[in-house]
Amino acid sequence: MSLLDTKPLTGRVEEVGGPVFLADYEAGGGYVAARKAIGQMTPSEVIDEVKDSNLRGRGGAGFPTGTKWGFVPPGPSPDGGVKYLVCNGDEMEPGTFKDRWLISNNPHSLIEGMLIGAYAIGATKAYVFLRGEYFEPKAKLAKAIDEAQAAGYLGNGLFGTDFDLDLRIHSSGGRYICGEETALLNALEGKRAQPRNKPPFPPASGAWGRPTIVNNVETYCNVPSIIEKGADWYRDLGLTEDAGTKIYGVSGRVNKPGLWELPIGTTIREIIEEHADGMQDGYHLRGLLPGGASTDFLVEEHFDLAMDYGTIQAAGSRMGTGTMILMDDSICPVDMSRNLQHFFAQESCGFCTPCREGLPWIESLLLDIEEGRGQPGDLEILDQNAQYIGAPGNTFCLHATGAIEPLQSALKYFRDDFERHIVEGKCPYRTNGNA
Amino acid sequence: MSEAALIPALSPEEVAEIEAEISHLPDRQSAAIDALMIVQKHRGWVSDESLSAIASLIGMSTAELDGVATFYNLIYRQPVGRHVISMCDSVSCYVMGADGLAKDLEAKLGIRFGETTADERFTLLPIVCLGACDKAPTMQIDEDLIENVSADKLDDIFEKYA
């Protein structure tokens, strides 16, 4: 049994002991899936296989990948125009570090996944939208693209068919909102990355007004093994209702922070205690953001829950990117909330008033409370703002909604801490040298 | 005046690189961000003169292109030092003590975030999560990611950036 049978995303990297380039990738069965999909399957058969696999988007939203691909009008466009396939490699969700790892260590699995996706929707142009700061991942991906081109896996007439694919990297100018798929498309077009009105959704009208699919790096990396080994095998990898494996990560005061590919549905406690080797001596875990900065806090009562889409949502949060950020007992929840809101306020694109004006205002109120200037009634004001700013539909995209998720849950679970700041007129914590 | 003022707002090499990007895109304006990044790669930042020259090259108004340039965190519209230190201020690094480290960094360099040292060696900027959260706190100097940063390592870290 190969490591790839249980760890389709990272198994080959583990076997090789470092970044996997073409020779190692092919020796481990690389590009067999692309050859099978493009050479032997119809596009609709590929989409059906991905639908059957129950693969859901790994960028945070969890939308079913095959269903999304099925929204693209099949066959050649009536006007002869192109369709686009885009990879969202704009990993800027604070606390998330999985796509950097995947691109740097297994770049051909991303290329192969995109190749299969492009064939499925009939795209002939593909872009990897990559964070501008990701210099090392970019160099490795560029090397892998060159290798794939030289081997005839990218370019024209692929795998003995008339299917062509041109794959290029776009380096972002850097803004969190580029991770929102329609903002990403505006950035790709050289514009300010403001989200677009929806509908139309990108599968109907995306990059340069053409049908476009945007998926996360990890999502594409899952596709080759689904095509090679089948939807049934993939579904069986998951421990719960969700399918496949997930790259989980832990950052914070644990003994071994890091990333691990595990069956989806592994419990939070197992990830922290077995894989991250538990909390460092002298630190106690109080809460965590399960999948990036824009997810609601979870606390002790949730730690035995399975990390999958449905379970974490039922607990009032989101699995998000699956890379959790731990808040230990040395960290002040008010100050951590201020740090989070600083990020969201800064990264608001500025288009909608509640987000542009509301988030900086929340940040400044949190700073007041943290520094001992809080007033009675401030928490009720924060509650109200969380409700108004966070409600989907009050803003164009979900940036403000995401910003409010950690705030509303901090106000719920750590309310005593907020109240103490106001009553005592000072912060009772001295957090990790952040005084 | 600096050397940059003596060379044209866009060099032939920059124009060639921008045209190469345009050749892969459906229209010239789509190369706006690539063009800004290309000029910044050569000059360290994007001056008003370069911005206007790029705008006419790709067929956009200067104002519209400045709207694009100022939207993005990584496009500098002011001169920067020989090396740019970008320190992560997002939550995973925060949890690992980044706010305290940021103060140490300011004290060590004698500047605040957003400023450049008098010898023009370093510009200090905050940056969003660098995606290396298991090795927090992190910073980036130019194109190098630096992990597990602590105050006592700063002298060694800075040494290679003259």
pLDDT at position A79: 87
Looking at the domain assignment, is residue A212 inside a domain? yes
* Confidence band for B8, pLDDT divided at 50, 70 and 90: confident
3-state helix, strand, coil in chain B (%, to 5): 50, 10, 40
Rounded to two decimals, the ipTM of the complex is 0.95
Given a cut of 70, is residue A109 above it in pLDDT? yes
> Which residues in chain B are closer than 8 Å to A173, comparing Cβ atoms?
33, 36-37, 68, 71-75
pLDDT digits (tens, 9 = 90+) for A168-198: 999 999 999 999 999 999 999 999 999 998 8
Please write the tens of the pLDDT for every residue from A36-94. 999 999 999 999 999 999 999 999 889 999 999 999 999 888 888 999 999 999 999 99
Percentage of chain A lying above the pLDDT 90 cut: 94
Are A32 and A47 contained in the same domain? yes
Output A7 or A76, whichever has higher pLDDT.
A7
Distance from CA of A238 to the nearest CA of B (A): 25
In a domain, A429, yes or no: no
Segment A122-132 shows an average pLDDT of 97
Tell whether A83 lies on the interface with B, counting CB pairs under 8 A.
Answer: no
Portion of chain A with pLDDT greater than 70, in percent: 98
Residues A266 and A199 in one domain: no
CATH code for the domain in which residue A60 is found = 3.40.50.11540
Q: Is residue A220 scored above 80 in pLDDT?
A: yes
Element (H, E) at A235: helix A231-237
Of A328, A361, A381, the one marking the end of a domain is: A328
**Section A263-279 average pLDDT:** 98
B42 and B99 housed in the same domain = no
Residues A216 and A185 in one domain: yes
Indicate if the pLDDT at residue A230 is higher than 90: yes
Query: What is the tally of structural domains in chain A?
Result: 3
**Predicted pLDDT at B6:** 52
pLDDT per residue over A284-329, tens digit each? 999 999 999 999 999 999 999 999 999 999 999 999 999 999 999 9
Contacts 24+ apart (CB under 8 A), A142-147: A142/A169, A143/A21, A143/A107, A144/A21, A144/A22, A144/A107, A144/A108, A144/A111, A145/A107, A145/A111, A145/A169, A147/A21, A147/A22, A147/A108
Residue finishing a domain among B31, B51, B71 = B71
Report whether pLDDT(B3) > 60. Answer: no
Q: What integer pLDDT is reported at residue A393 of this predicted model?
A: 85
C-beta of residue A129 within 8 angstroms of C-beta of residue A90: yes
Domain end (from B37, B71, B105): B71
Q: Pick from A328, A347, A372: which residue ends a domain?
A: A328
* One domain for residues A297 and A415: no
Same domain, yes or no, for A166 and A111?
Answer: yes
Q: Work out the pLDDT band at A432, boundaries 50, 70, 90.
A: very low
> Are B92 and B61 within one domain?
no
Q: Is residue A389 scored above 60 in pLDDT?
A: yes
Contact residues, B window 122-151, toward A, CB-based 8 Å cutoff = 127-136, 140, 143-145
Residues A182 and A254 in one domain: no
Domain's final residue, options B19, B37, B71: B71
Residue A210 identity: R
Domain boundary among the residues A264, A298, A328 is at A328
For residue A290, give its domain range: 245-328
Q: Do B34 and B100 fall into the same domain? A: no
| In chain A, residues 370-429 whose CB comes closer than 8 Å to chain B | none
Q: Return the SS3 of A166.
A: strand
CB contact under 8 A, A168 and B135: no
Looking at residue A368, what is its pLDDT?
A: 97
Spatial CA neighbour of A408 closest among A317, A313, A290, A311: A317
Q: Is residue A432 part of a domain?
A: no
Domain that holds residue B88: 83-159
One domain, residues A323 and A338: no
pLDDT top residue among B48 and A80: B48
Number of domains in chain B: 2
Looking at the predicted structure, is the pLDDT value of residue A99 above 50?
A: yes
Task: Please tell me whether residues B98 and B145 are part of one structural domain.
Answer: yes
- My answer on whether A82 and A213 are in the same domain is yes
Mean pLDDT on A97-115: 98
On whether residue B77 sits in a domain, the answer given is: no
CATH number at residue B89: 3.40.30.10
Within 8 A of A340 by CB-CB distance, chain B residues are 91
Instruction: Specify whether A320 is located in the same domain as A339.
Output: no
Can you give the pLDDT at residue B1? 44
Q: Is residue A317 located within the same domain as residue A358?
A: no
Q: Are residue A227 and residue A319 in the same domain, yes or no?
A: no
**Cα separation, B84 vs B65, whole angstroms:** 24
Query: Is the confidence at residue A435, as pLDDT, over 50?
Result: no
Q: What's the CATH number where A392 sits?
A: 1.20.1440.230
Cα separation, A175 vs A92, whole angstroms: 8
Question: B133–A97: do the CB atoms touch at under 8 Å?
Answer: yes
> How many contiguous H segments (helices) and E segments (strands) does chain A have?
18, 9
- Same domain for A203 and A93: yes
- The yes-or-no verdict on residue A396 having pLDDT over 90 is no
* Phi, psi of A363, deg, nearest 5: -60, -45
Which CATH number do you get for residue B62?
1.10.10
Q: How far is A251 from chain B (nearest CA, A)?
A: 5
Q: Is residue A221 part of a domain?
A: yes
Query: The domain that contains A298 carries what CATH number?
Result: 3.10.20.600
